[in-house]
Amino acid sequence: MRTLNGYMHGVNLGGWLSQTADTSKAHYDNFITEEDIAYIASLGLDHVRVPVDYTLLEEEDGTPKTEGYSYLDNCVTWCRTHGIRMILDLHKTYGYSFDPLDKTDKTVFFRDAALQERFYTLWKILAARYGGAPELVAFELLNEIIEPEVAEAWNQIALHAIAEIRVFAPESWIIFGGVMYNNVLSVPMLAEVNDPKVAYTFHSYEPLIFTHQGAYWVDGMPSDFRIAYPNTIENYRESSKMLSQELAGAIFEGDLPEVGPAFFEALFQPALKIAEERDIPLYCGEYGVIDLADNVSKINWASDICTVFDKYGIGRAYWNYKEKDYGIVNIPDQNVQRELAAKL
């Protein structure tokens, strides 16, 4: 399979232009600055994935917010200055949010033509504005589709969006992923695309009981629960029984080997097979470990999963650079920050 060249070792800028309760100018101006992009480049990373919510870019009635685009413009400029690339990830669109804290209908977008038109219109604006820099900016259509029942509807929406974007951005990379929160097991469900600049994406937080230990937003997760990595798959499965099977992830799938590179390789096999058959790049847009985990375990986990990414040429972006309960720069010891970043 081909690789997503230029987007092999990255980090997410979550919490800046997406998933933030603070929508003040001060937050947008200061949460991420050019100094952060320079530091990311100094870590040896080659790109940033920039989640952005529609609320930054348009009013509820669809009227564009000109000032919102200035932050994306700045990020493009900073990335160019410091020699890294950028993925513009539409994290939430009008009518759809993956966020479990947003108590909204997770399927209406996929059956409502008016909501889909809003989505296409926003992407046409983004493509017209940033499609002239295909060497610098890639586009990710929408973050984490949840419900399996909308898989085929999403495929048709994605294909339509790709066609709309191509009018304005014929050479830009376009990335899209599948259902079940972009689970790697959903990659084989994605539509085949006759376009050499399209890549499939997935997210990987396996074992979720480890990467989300103590997470307040995970139903059934005790706030004081802790577990190390590596551990036995039996222990991970036993601990995962406190969560719903949907939340627990793929830890209960079939005859998985003990955790380590072979564990991730087994999980990724269906995606690798379809990517090889279709000669399409794979990209892991999110993977990471909550800050409540111990640092040795974080580094062990990152080392194992990235060994498999490297073996198969899978580009990736760690979640997260700053805050959002996963921030690399929130690790107090900068030596540990750099040790972790070196694994990515």
Task: State the catalytic residues.
Answer: 144, 286
Residues 73/74/78/84 CA torsion (nearest 10 deg): -40
- Where on the phi/psi map is residue 242: left (φ > 0), alpha (ψ -120 to 50), or beta? alpha
The contacts of residue 143 (CB under 8 Å, 6+ apart) are 51, 89, 90, 91, 92, 98, 182, 285
Angle between helices 151-168 and 113-130 in degrees, nearest 10: 30
The contacts of residue 327 (CB under 8 Å, 6+ apart) are 291, 320, 321
What tokens appear for 46 in the block?
């080659």
d(CA 310, CA 142): 25
Q: What is the DSSP letter of 71?
A: H
Sign of the alpha-carbon torsion through 290, 178, 113, 125: positive
Q: How far is CA 113 from CA 117, 240, 259, in A?
A: 6, 39, 44
Backbone angles phi, psi at 32, to 5 degrees: -125, 130
